Chains A and B, each alone.
Chain A
């Protein structure tokens, strides 16, 4: 009896062991989607994941995929938790994924060393490790269209353009995790070279909804401007607290993850005047997004809870993530002549990205964003941003594209990249022409 049980058990193990959770079809390509539709960051994760999936599904529905090959989007829930993210990665990397977009700096950092080994590129669009902008040191990681450092420099440029930054005190409130801490080295550096003072206010992941201490400290420090590197439930809470202490909202700038409809809808009229950086267009008035509405949303193939959610800041951001990936797939297909490509082909495709305004218009996204042009050495593209302002019910774009201070940021990025690599003897950089 016992032996029979054991035989059964071993048979079970064998069955489990040989079982692959995903059967890849010949005529499709696997595109994992790390999402978080649960937990305190779901407010941001949900629209992003919707935009991401809807764009690929739109290509499948409208064009029958990319050059005839369908894209199979497979979601894995990470809850914005690095460990779960790695679990997702480990569980799905056997399915020949083209690229991972973790939507979490913590997960990105964990995947960077794995990418070259498994030959799957990591595309951390506007998040993750800033130093990964250096393609020579990070052949497998991409941060199009801009790194955090570039973004911060653009934001500081904006502040400087308003009433001069020299001699001012800048408050930096950030999520106390890999993500929020990422731009601090540049901030410290620039505070010296540009001559402003910095006051930092970390917000613990568990304290996101209870920020009154941080804002009491803001009141104590009396900064002239506030910059926020926030995410999830942290953002609306921070804006409400700022209102409470009478901090002028038109001197409060969120980064591009701290300025979405999900954040500001919760604040509503009170949040009027709040500023945020952005790099992806707002609204539904783009042909590509109209196609998403007709081919996906109206057919009930989308997970969005209402049609109005299409076109909000984070939905469009997720969509833009998919646009870049799809474009990289096309580049890779053209370069290799294959229709079904591998992760390594995808890497080459990502380096060959050339999203000019003309190409964006062709894709149905005119004036959606700045041009994104990659190369072997440049994995962040051009990286301009614009500033948007909350008018009480919606965001309005209020500036032209602001280019980063490439001359200052680029050398620092390269230095940071070299530091990252320095203690990793087996690290493999690439040589660019």
Chain B
């Protein structure tokens, strides 16, 4: 009964076009943001912040990136991991060359490099579509991985071939490096992710976002409406890769602290893809739901047997996680291709008409 839009009349198109036209949704978002910024840092454990919230946010951002490309612009990509890698290695190089520049600025800049890489590997999308394109993104994945391994300049000629995050401070509080506290890192990531998500939501509801969806739904018609496929597809690749790049930089600098090539391998690309599928293609909320789901699921699968007093081998939970995610992917593709986000929406629709199930609009 509380979730009703009755009585909320829009008096201007501006109000009708707002991101969240329904008041309850606005309140809900506000509550979520307040708890994310104040409640979680104040009341939860380091384990929760460091091992659950931080990875969740990083993956959610990467999922936003992939969803822009796959869910909104309709270009399937299997190279997300590599584009994240471009962001991470660029950020590492930038941090080497500009040790005094604020690390947050560097992280935001590093996305530009992966955007460039995205454009380069997006070029074939002009001539080829769908599954074929997926294979060119595989080319990007393997070629870039090889670059991360072979071009020693990228990791400053370290013998180990790994990039290690230096310590950097913001207002005299360490936010990267081993001594940065989880809460500090969490707050930085949360701010960046919240900001970039807002930007994505804005772009997606405007002219450019619409042009991507036009290309996705019917590229020929889009072209006949005056959309230049070149521009639309490449801008989607660039924008999406920017997000992936920033997510990659955040992953290494704010979460892992160091990384080798394997951190950006194909399995990683798939992981993000699963988040997008399960969360819901073409939905920003879905990115967060998918990331939360895929990230928390193994934690739960690990925890449940031990709560029940069963002793499962670590590897077994890994296998079970694989199976569960696989089954869920197929389940969602069959039952609800728009994933958790659509289920949530349906639930909200139900709420709207509750307790009169047949009075729907």
Contacts and interface: CB of A to CB of B under 8 A. Distances in A.
Contacts of A177: 161, 260-262
B218 interface: no
B123 interface: no
A2 B302 CA distance: 31
B43 A14 contact: yes
A416 B160 CA distance: 12
Tier of interface size on chain B: 35 or more
Contacts of B160: 105-106, 109, 129, 178, 181-182
A204 B161 CA distance: 13
Interface string B158-185: 0111101011000000000111000000
Interface in A83-128: 83, 86-87, 90-91, 94, 105-106, 109-110, 113-114, 116-118
Contacts of B303: 21
Interface in A123-158: 129
B262 A82 contact: yes
A86 B257 contact: yes
Nearest to B142: A206
Chain A binding surface SS class: helix
Contacts of A10: 31, 35, 39
Contacts of B45: 17-20, 94
A178 B315 contact: no
Contacts of A182: 159-160
Contacts of A204: 146, 149
A181 B313 CA distance: 31
Interface string B1-19: 1110000000000000000
B90 to A, nearest CB: 19
Interface residues of A, number: 56
A38 B225 CA distance: 52
A106 B159 CA distance: 11
A322 interface: no
Interface string A1-37: 1111010001001101111110000000000000111
Given A82-B262, A91-B47, A205-B262, A1 B315 contact: no
Given A2-B28, A83-B262, A303 B313 contact: yes
Contact of B167 (A6, A75, A94, A426): A426
A427 to B, nearest CB: 10
A36 B159 CA distance: 24
B162 A87 contact: no
A180 to B, nearest CB: 9
B318 interface: yes
B3 A110 contact: no
Interface stretch (B49-57, B125-133, B200-208, B332-340): B49-57
B258 A109 contact: yes
Given A2-B3, A76-B314, A110 B149 contact: no
Contact of B48 (A17, A185, A416): A17
A117 B263 contact: no
A13 B35 contact: yes
A374 to B, nearest CB: 23
B315 A106 contact: no
A82 B1 contact: no
B51 A87 contact: yes
B359 to A, nearest CB: 16
Contacts, number: 150
B51 A91 contact: yes
A79 interface: yes
A21 B299 contact: yes
A90 B50 contact: yes
A117 B176 CA distance: 13
A214 interface: no
A360 B159 CA distance: 35
Interface string B254-283: 011111111100001000000000000000
A185 B160 CA distance: 11
A143 to B, nearest CB: 14
B43 A117 contact: no
A424 interface: yes
A270 interface: no
Interface centre among B52, B149, B166, B314 (most CB of A within 10 A): B314
Contact of A87 (B55, B149, B159, B260): B55
A6 B318 CA distance: 31
Contact of B315 (A2, A37, A83): A37
Nearest to B318: A77
Nearest to A38: B315
B177 A184 contact: no
Contact of A426 (B179, B260, B268): B179
A224 interface: no
Given A83-B256, A114-B257, A75 B313 contact: yes
A81 interface: yes
Contacts of A357: none
Contact of A37 (B1, B39, B256, B313): B313
A82 to B, nearest CB: 5
Contacts of A250: none
> Nearest 8 A-B pairs (CB), nearest first?
A17-B44, A37-B315, A77-B314, A75-B314, A110-B258, A113-B178, A17-B48, A91-B51
Given A10-B35, A113-B257, A118-B178, 8 more contacts: A2-B27, A16-B52, A17-B40, A21-B47, A79-B318, A82-B259, A90-B47, A114-B257
8 contacts: A1-B351, A10-B39, A17-B48, A76-B314, A77-B317, A83-B263, A110-B258, A204-B149
